């Protein structure tokens, strides 16, 4: 699958362009010409998994890694966040690349509103 404008895809799927979407399934993302990136993981507290691990000054404990350049000119900036299993926490990733493609089953694309109304139906 080549690059497809996300607003056009939402229009095809009948989802409002102003509405965020959720892919309730597996997807494959490919990056081409990666220039750099960064990843940050805020660790969950193993004694209280609904909260983040804090240092002695009350700040979240985070693992951070940066590589290459984040200040490239005419490139694609991909930013995503998700809960991860190991290390247990919430991760954000920022990748700078010439282009990106994503493949997924379009039947699995739902609006965030629908997801929030029925998360058990769309989670796995």
Residue 7 has φ and ψ, to the nearest 5°, of -70, -40
Contact 28, 102 (CB under 8 A): yes
Kindly report whether the global pTM for this prediction surpasses the value 0.85: no
- Res 58 pLDDT > 90: yes
Confidence of residue 9 (pLDDT cuts 50, 70, 90): low
- Res 14 pLDDT > 70: no
- Res 17 pLDDT > 50: yes
Whether the CA torsion 5, 2, 34, 104 is positive or negative: it is: positive
Cβ neighbour number for residue 119 with a 10 Å cutoff: 11
The mean pLDDT of 26-44, rounded to a whole number, is: 93
């Amino acid at each position: 699958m080549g690059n497809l404008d996300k607003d056009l895809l939402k229009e095809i799927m009948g989802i409002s362009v102003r509405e965020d979407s959720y892919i309730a399934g597996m997807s494959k993302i490919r990056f081409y010409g990666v220039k750099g990136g960064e990843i940050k993981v805020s660790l969950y507290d193993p004694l209280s998994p609904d909260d983040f691990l804090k240092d002695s000054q009350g700040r979240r404990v985070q693992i951070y890694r940066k590589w290459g350049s984040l200040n490239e000119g005419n490139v694609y900036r991909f930013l995503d966040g998700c809960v991860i299993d190991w290390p247990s926490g919430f991760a954000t990733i920022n990748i700078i690349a010439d282009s990106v493609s994503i493949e997924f089953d379009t039947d699995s694309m739902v609006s965030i509103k629908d997801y929030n109304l029925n998360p058990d139906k769309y989670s796995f």
